[in-house]
A = this chain, B = another copy of it.
Amino acid sequence: MARKTKEEALETREKILDAAIDIFFENGVSASSLNEIALRAGVTRGAVYWHFKNKRDIFDALHERLFKSFMDMLSPRLDHIDADPLAQLRGLQTDLMREVHGNPMKKRALSVFLLKCDYSGDMKDFLIEQEKSKFKSFQIFADYVRRVQEQKLMPAHFPPEVIARMYHCFFSGLLYEYLRFPGTIDFDTHVLPSINAFFSRMA
């Protein structure tokens, strides 16, 4: 085949990434071959190896693309404190879940990172990276809780880190459950009410 223009090359790169999400989601990361990804994207392995070093490299690119968008959503919504902090937190979590629920591509990508890969072998050091970024988002939330407690808008029976940990566990647990059993747990009748229950008990 012939050489493409730079824009076209970028398009095929994106095509490969999109195909990778699908294939990873269907087969699991380690069981997915680069050939499958290439075929799904409508190219050959040559194109894949041109744009990416190996499977791990594709994985990194996907992570970059996904977590950026989430951090962009998280940070600006916790840099200030609303009149009702609990409502603010509930709103944030609701919107995050709604974002996942409404965006099939993001949903599949998240599934890949949380359920469709075992972080071992090549991926071991990737887990360390992920730990760092998770720690970052955790710190953002712990800081928020600390400020809220300082302003006496929340009882300070527990240190901010503990509250943050509790919140974080509930949220990630909810996410896991929702992604793991897509048929069983409905968004409107299960996910949203359980968020409301969680926050109504924290008042």
Contact = CB atoms under 8 A, between A and B. Distances in A.
A103 interface: no
Give the secondary structure class of A's interface.
helix
A166 B31 contact: no
Interface string A1-33: 000000000000000000000000111111100
A87 interface: no
Interface stretch (A39-47, A61-69, A157-165): A157-165
A50 interface: no
Interface of A: 25-31, 115-121, 123, 127, 131, 134-135, 157-159, 161-163, 165-166, 168-174, 176-177, 180-181, 184-185, 190, 193-194, 196-198, 200-202
